[in-house]
Amino acid sequence: MAGPLKQVPNKSGSGPRAVGKASDPRPPAGVVAPVGVTNATLNRPMLRDKRERILVMADPNAGKSFAYYRMADIDYHKPENWDGGIVGPDNGKYTGPKYWVFDFDDTAPAYMGDGEQFEHLYFEYGGNVYPFPADDWKMAVSSFNYMRAYWKRGDYVVFDVVNRVYEMAQDLIGGVTGVDVDENTVARIIRGRGFGAFEGNQWNAVTRSFLSIYKRCEDGPCHIINLAHMSEVVRARDKRTILSQFDQLGMRPRAPRAVVEDCDTIVALWVVRDIEDRSKADSAARTLRWMTVLKDRGRPTYYRVAYDYDMYEILKRERLNPANNSINVTDPKEIARMMADVEEAMQRRAEAEAQDAAAEAIADGIKPERDPDTIDDDDTDADAVPATPPSRLATTDATEEQDNASDA
């Protein structure tokens, strides 16, 4: 048996550190590099540092925002994150991870206002949380431009909540195309044209506009935390990727599909509150919190664990728990039963789409042309570049405007 390749270096670190200690991966002797490729332009093999891309889904008042404030609080209280080695702005400058928050639901005052639990985390008091209220598309773009001017590797970008960006993108495209989003949504439902304000090609423009902010944050140096509300899975209507990921849970995130697909980790938070003695007016509620890990790329998934306050700390612990490993079904009868259940669900969805298509055709006064067996699972929100992209995207400078337009 052949021995190991002598040119393969021992791995002695992670990310760029490992590559820095590795041998230079130049072409073998006698091999001429392609025209235009030099040692300076060569894209070398490397293992990038791990970056979190987490989607936290939960009902209102279940602890979504609290989860990342606790993360920031833990980082704040680590002595190694202060240049003086002592926690507190009176003893030195904070040098640890910063939390750049798209505060679409204006939750920051409830957590960092005067006298609140996390008041010390507000950046003007020497803390590590930078909230950006954003009520419309222009404010969201302005917030993004500020963040990327100062963020660094290891920081966190938080979308609280992520679907608000998609709603703002709808208003943007509605303004460009002359569509009143609210009125057109109601009108299309009444006419049996489906849900939402736009036709397929316009939805492409909405998605591209949304990605002009979200994707740039995702491709940056920071960890990403997305917050989303939950809604019930509708087996007859939800798309295949949603069914395969969330059907077992019965709930799905109210978030753009690109977010669901790109996130490495998806966690559902649950809260149950019980009044110990309902006969007493001053009786306190006992709260049970648990989380279900639905996706954690490269690690075990579909397990449930109780937690107190620190969702992320428990997640990191459970990633190392061998008891959470998945079980692959190999029994032929069990496989047949599960496959039949999946096929039945997909058939119901296809029939529902066919009915929607027929209703749209009747509303337009034309004969339906699509066969239910040929319906494309992704035909209502395809990822192709729209034939007529919006002429402009609201930005804060001409260069960004050109970049966003090309993305759309």
Confidence at 362, pLDDT banded by 50, 70, 90: low
Give domain status of residue 179, yes or no: yes
Phi, psi of 246 (to 5 degrees): -125, 0
- Total tally of structural domains belonging to the chain: 2
pLDDT given at position 29: 63
DSSP letter string, 353-364: HHHHHHHHHHHH
Instruction: Check the CA dihedral 255-261-267-270 and report its sign.
Output: positive
Give domain status of residue 396, yes or no: no
Q: What is the residue range of 66's domain?
A: 53-275+284-324
Amino acid identity at 195: F
Is residue 54 pLDDT above 50, yes or no?
A: yes
Q: Which residue has the higher pLDDT, 277 or 84?
A: 84
Give domain status of residue 232, yes or no: yes
Alpha helices in 22-162 (DSSP H): 64-76, 108-112, 137-150
Do 334 and 372 lie in one domain? The reply is yes
* Residue 251, C-beta contacts closer than 8 angstroms, at least 6 positions apart: 57, 230, 231, 232, 233, 268
Phi, psi of 186 (to 5 degrees): -65, -45
Do 295 and 361 lie in one domain? The reply is no
Do 313 and 166 lie in one domain? The reply is yes
Do 302 and 338 lie in one domain? The reply is no
Is residue 24 pLDDT above 90, yes or no?
A: no
* Residue 292, C-beta contacts closer than 8 angstroms, at least 6 positions apart: 249, 267, 268, 270, 302, 303, 304
Give domain status of residue 36, yes or no: no
Q: Which residue has the higher pLDDT, 200 or 396?
A: 200
State if pTM tops 0.75: no
Do 296 and 363 lie in one domain? The reply is no
CA 391/CA 408 separation, integer angstroms: 9
Do 231 and 340 lie in one domain? The reply is no
Residue 294 in 3-state DSSP?
A: strand
Contact call for residues 201 and 388 (beta carbons, < 8 A): yes
pLDDT given at position 316: 92
Give domain status of residue 6, yes or no: no
Average pLDDT over residues 306-313: 88
Give domain status of residue 15, yes or no: no
**241-285 pLDDT per residue, tens:** 666 678 778 888 988 888 998 999 999 998 887 766 656 656 667
Mean pLDDT for all residues in the chain: 76
Do 216 and 182 lie in one domain? The reply is yes
Do 97 and 136 lie in one domain? The reply is yes
CA 107/CA 118 separation, integer angstroms: 12
| Residue 82's CATH number | 3.40.50
Give domain status of residue 390, yes or no: no
Contact call for residues 169 and 206 (beta carbons, < 8 A): yes
